[in-house]
């Protein structure tokens, strides 16, 4: 039985815990930002409260899930890897390219499994679109475009640790959700961004200090502080094979909760995926279009493998996360699951974020 420890006590830590338990692991302990917080959550979960990172890595756990604020990812992940633990680390992998490179090097030196939860890869219809692309159904790509829109920071009173660059990093909206869009589109399309030009914007120059849980109701009431991380980002890009594309990223788009949407337009056909409607894909041809609904009877094996419920019984984000953790644990047993996102993919994402920030500052095209 896999023994798991979780670093972090927020919403996403709970998602990791649930996925670990559903995959047969034993969650043995938790490490929070403060001893009292560790004790509180440990009591709720019925597990051990670790007092320090050192105590955690000296324990007999097999895998450490790092779900703490972004600025702490490198510290915890590298310590766990050097202690011989497998690691699941939330994105962004590091706050800088150099930090992410050190994390990937630590993973390779350790020989352990090290993954990043780009979990939208695990929607069955996403796998079907990718399989159809590999089979040549869409021809050569002409255009890649889409958006990832949220509204959880729409209120000027909304505050979260991610707004603080010291805790969340220099990029917020793009590093948080734009990273998911780029990873998914690159993986599904088979294209890789080569250069881009970007602009970013901040909706409110000041927000209250303090932190409210992501997606929670209500705002913070502390004194106002300057905002240095973007609420929205726009980018144009070209891929290594010369395909053009664009993406719009925002955390202040009213009414949009988690709308990761992409359209891939090819010489023979197009494909559309909308994460708020994850049970279907739109496929277009010059002669017309069709909706393909998730169905375990699909002829595409990897899509069928991830279709865990009968057709018509909606699967969503939670099942994606469970499948991602299942494949991570399978890799720990020596298997090689298709499409498992690793620290190499995490570093790739950090490089794209870095290019976006460089372009927003220089107002020029920048290489990825």
- Residue 159 pLDDT class (50, 70, 90 cuts): confident
Mean pLDDT of the 22-49 span: 96
Whole-angstrom distance, CA of residue 104 vs CA of residue 218? 38
User: Looking at the predicted structure, is the pLDDT value of residue 13 above 80?
Assistant: yes
Residue with tokens 């107002």: 363
Q: What CATH code would you report for 121-311+341-367?
A: 3.30.360.10
Whole-angstrom distance, CA of residue 120 vs CA of residue 49? 31
Number of residues that this document lists for the chain: 368
* Cα dihedral 31/36/39/40 (nearest 10): -110
What confidence score (pLDDT) does residue 42 get? 97
What confidence score (pLDDT) does residue 160 get? 87
Q: What is the pTM of this model?
A: 0.95
Rg (CA), the chain: 20
- Residue 150 pLDDT class (50, 70, 90 cuts): very high
Mean pLDDT of the 19-47 span: 96
Q: Write down the mean pLDDT value for the chain.
A: 95
What confidence score (pLDDT) does residue 145 get? 98
User: Looking at the predicted structure, is the pLDDT value of residue 299 above 90?
Assistant: yes
Q: Quick one: CA dihedral 193, 197, 203, 206, positive or negative? A: positive
Mean pLDDT of the 106-111 span: 98
What confidence score (pLDDT) does residue 209 get? 84
What confidence score (pLDDT) does residue 210 get? 73
Please classify residue 105 by burial: count the beta carbons closer than 10 Å to its beta carbon, then call 0-12 exposed, 13-18 middle and 19+ buried: middle
Strand order in the sheet with 114-115: 48-49, 26-31, 3-7, 63-66, 86-89, 114-115
Name the most confidently modeled range: 98-112, 164-178, 200-214.
Answer: 98-112
Range of weakest confidence among 15-19, 34-38, 214-218, 333-337: 214-218
Per-residue burial over 281-318, b = 16 or more CB atoms within 10 Å of its CB, e = otherwise: bbbbeeeeeeebebbeebebebbbbbbeeeeeeebeee
CATH 3.40.50.720 placement within the chain: 3-115
CATH 3.30.360.10 placement within the chain: 121-311+341-367
Per residue in 183-233, pLDDT tens? 999 999 999 999 999 999 999 999 998 776 666 666 667 789 999 999 999
Task: Please report, rounded to a whole number, the percentage of residues in the chain having pLDDT higher than 90.
Answer: 92
Per residue in 43-101, pLDDT tens? 999 999 999 999 999 999 999 999 999 999 999 999 999 999 999 999 999 999 999 99
Class of domain 3-115: alpha beta
Q: Which of 97, 130, 367, 92 is nearest to 239 (CA)?
A: 367
Q: Contact at 8 Å (CB) between 296 and 289?
A: no
Please classify residue 102 by burial: count the beta carbons closer than 10 Å to its beta carbon, then call 0-12 exposed, 13-18 middle and 19+ buried: middle
């Amino acid at each position: 039985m896999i023994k798991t420890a979780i670093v972090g006590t927020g919403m996403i830590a709970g998602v990791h815990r649930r996925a670990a338990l559903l995959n047969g692991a034993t969650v043995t302990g938790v490490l929070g930002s403060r001893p009292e917080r560790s004790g509180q959550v440990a009591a709720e979960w019925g597990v051990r409260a670790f007092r320090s990172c050192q105590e955690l890595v000296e324990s007999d756990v097999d895998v450490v899930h790092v779900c703490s604020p972004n600025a702490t990812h490198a510290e915890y992940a590298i310590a766990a890897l050097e202690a011989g633990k497998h690691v699941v680390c939330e994105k962004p992998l590091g706050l800088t390219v150099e930090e992410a490179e050190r994390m990937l090097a630590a993973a390779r030196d350790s020989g352990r499994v090290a993954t990043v939860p780009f979990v939208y890869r695990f929607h069955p219809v996403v796998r079907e679109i990718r399989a159809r692309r590999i089979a040549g159904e869409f021809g050569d790509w002409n255009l890649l475009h889409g958006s990832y829109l949220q509204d959880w920071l729409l209120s000027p009173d909304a505050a979260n640790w991610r707004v603080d660059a010291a805790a969340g990093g220099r990029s917020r909206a793009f590093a948080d959700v734009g990273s998911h869009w780029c990873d998914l589109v690159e993986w599904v399309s088979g294209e890789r961004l080569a250069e881009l030009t970007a602009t970013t914007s901040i909706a409110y120059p000041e927000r209250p200090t303090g932190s409210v849980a992501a997606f929670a109701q209500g705002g913070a009431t502390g004194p106002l502080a300057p905002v240095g991380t973007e609420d929205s980002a726009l980018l144009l890009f070209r891929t290594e094979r010369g395909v053009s594309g664009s993406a719009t990223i925002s955390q202040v788009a009213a009414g949009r909760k988690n709308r990761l949407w992409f359209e891939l337009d090819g010489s023979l056909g197009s494909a559309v995926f909308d994460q708020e409607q994850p049970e279907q894909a739109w496929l277009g041809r010059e002669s017309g279009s069709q909706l393909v609904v998730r169905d375990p009877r699909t002829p595409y094996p990897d899509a069928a493998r991830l279709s865990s419920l009968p057709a018509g019984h909606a699967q969503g984000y939670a099942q994606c996360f469970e499948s991602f953790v299942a494949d991570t644990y399978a890799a720990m047993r020596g298997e090689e699951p298709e499409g498992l996102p690793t620290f190499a993919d995490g570093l790739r994402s950090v490089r794209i974020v870095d290019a976006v920030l460089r372009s927003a500052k220089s107002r020029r095209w920048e290489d990825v």
